[in-house]
Structure 1
Amino acid sequence: MGYYITVEQDVQIFVEDIDPGNGKPVLFLHGWPANHKMFEYQFNQLPQMGFRCIGMDFRGFGDSDRPWNGYSYDRMADDILAVIDALGLEDVILAGHSMGGAIAIRYMSRHAGHKISKLALFGAAAPVFTQSPDYPYGKTKEEVNKLIQDTYTNRPQMVADFGDIFFTRYLRESFVDWFQSLGLAASGHATAMCLASLRDEDLRQDLANIHVPTAIFHGKQDKVCPFVFAELLHAEIKESELIPFYYSGHGLFYCEMKKFNRELTRFMT
């Protein structure tokens, strides 16, 4: 079931509730620049195991509205709060990939983990996505600025190039085309603005505010968010466990789908 939830004046967020009213709720937050459909191969399986899978498209992505402003982590964390309260969710497992994982961390800090019982991070773009004098990990700010420029000048090629480093295994052209179509469904402006947030946001001070069991899923071969991100998160988040995916890059939810779904089910149960 799909529907829209108003998160602020003139801004509606699209939500797909796979099996409304049944099972423990799992709210999935997609990565940049995709949308909730990236979790298709989890939505196919998890409801059979007693989980109510809910996917939301961040503002500017998928079927959500595309306002000109509002792409900070704070604002998008507020959108999550509005969705959780509008649906009346309780005892929620919050699950985020890449940028979605970063925003999940900000939600836990900004809203004191409101209604969340467990947190699952998949290839999270955290604690910081870009390098700085006291943080030598991740992409340089110049590399992200180049992505922003490419978004405004040739977004199809930018999305295609990003897709080339997303997965580590050979994929058929039909799958690659489908996955890239998710990125092209976004607003170009929102795509660029979220890159600016990825470039500028710092979540290191948020980590101490996470007080629920947390699972950190991360590909050892991740070329977008290097594995050291997961090690840093594991060191700072209490009650966290680190689950490495040795044969996966950033798209671990597909590269090692069986292991991913098995480990996620184990953690959520």
Structure 2
Amino acid sequence: MGYFVNVEPGVNLYVEDINPGGRKTIVFLHGWPLSHKQFEYQFNVLPSMGYRCIGIDWRGFGMSDKPMNGYNFDRLADDIRTIVGVLQLHDFTLVGHSTGGSIAIRYLSRYNGYGVSKLVLIDAAAPIGFTAETADRLLNESLNDRPKMMRDVTETFFFQYISGPFSDWFFQLGMQAAGWSTAAIIVTLRDEQLYADLPKLSVPTLIVHGIHDKVIPFVQAQELNQKIRNSQLVPFQYSGHGLFWEEHEKFNQLLQQFIG
């Protein structure tokens, strides 16, 4: 089922809640500039295996409201905390892809891991996001020709071949975001870092990362593994930045094993 949760006056975030009666809960945070729909190939499988899967569109993206402000990691983590409280979630696994991984890290740091029993970081944009050079290029493209920027992002996202129809679908996920929120997150990824957050993480953490990732280099996953205690790193040999699709069978199986 899908519904909206109010996170502040005038701002409602879309939540997709699949199999609410599942035995264990997984909360998914998508990457920039996408939406919860990027996890289609997890939602196809995991609920039928007894898991409750919750996909959240951040503010400014997907089906959520698109205010002009609130695109720093603190505010985005606050939004997640509000949803966790409204849904009364506890003992759940938090899964974050790319920038969603950054938000997940900030959530655990800012709220002392409230409700989270395990953490999964997929190609996480941490402890840093974009370099100044990359961010400035993306920002310029976003503000002047966002469709071209999104097409370029799609072409560099995956290591494996993607079909034309899949590329079109992925492109539309990105174009569903607002232009201002798309640009604001680029600035956040350029200006904010998560080094101070990492020592505060204590839950078991699974780090998965495509070795061919052209968006967030694999070396950053190795750094996360070194700095997050009680973490394990599993390289994905045939993936770029989209292992949730490129090697989704392997990822889904690994996720099940990790959660139990």
Question: Which one-letter code corresponds to 1:204 in the other structure?
Answer: Y
Written as runs of structure 1 = structure 2, the 5 A alignment for 1:12-161 is 12-130=12-130, 140-161=131-152
Residue 49 (structure 1) shift: 1.6
Q: Hey, what's the Cα distance between the residues in 2 that align with 1:262 and 1:25?
A: 16
Which of residues 169, 179, 201 in structure 1 aligns to 2:170?
179
Distance 2:129 2:151 in 1: 21
Aligned to 1:170: 161
In structure 2, distance between residues paired with 1:106 and 1:207? 9
1:229 aligns with 2:259: no
1:200 alignment partner in structure 2: 191
CA distance in 2, matches of 1:14, 1:129: 25
SS at match of 1:165: helix
Deviation at 1:22, TM superposition (A): 2.2
Superposed displacement of residue 142, structure 1? 2.2
Partner of 2:246: 255
Deviations 1:142-190 (A, max 9, x none): 2211111111111000000011110011111001100111000000100
Count of aligned pairs between the two proteins = 260
1:220-255 C-alpha deviation (Å, 9 max, x unpaired): 000000000100000011110101001100001111
> What CA distance in whole angstroms lies between the structure 2 residues aligned with 1:169 and 1:211?
34
SS in 1 for 2:167: helix
Distance apart, 1:19 and its partner CA: 1.0
2:5 corresponding residue in structure 1: 5
Show CA shifts across 1:52-76 (max 9, x none).
0000000000000000000000000
2: CA distance between counterparts of 1:126 and 1:243? Answer: 16
- Give ranges in structure 1 of 5+ residues lacking alignment: 131-139
- 2:250 paired with 1:267: no
| Root-mean-square deviation (Å) | 0.7
| d(CA) in 1 for partners of 2:6, 2:114 | 19
Q: Which amino acid aligns with 2:148?
A: Q
| Runs of 4+, deviation exceeding 2 Å | none
Secondary structure of the equivalent of 2:53? strand
In 2, the alpha carbon distance for the partners of 1:143 and 1:239 equals 32
Separation in structure 2 between the aligned mates of residue 259 and residue 229 of structure 1, nearest angstrom: 21
Q: What letter matches 2:48 in structure 1?
A: Q
**In structure 2, distance between residues paired with 1:54 and 1:72:** 22
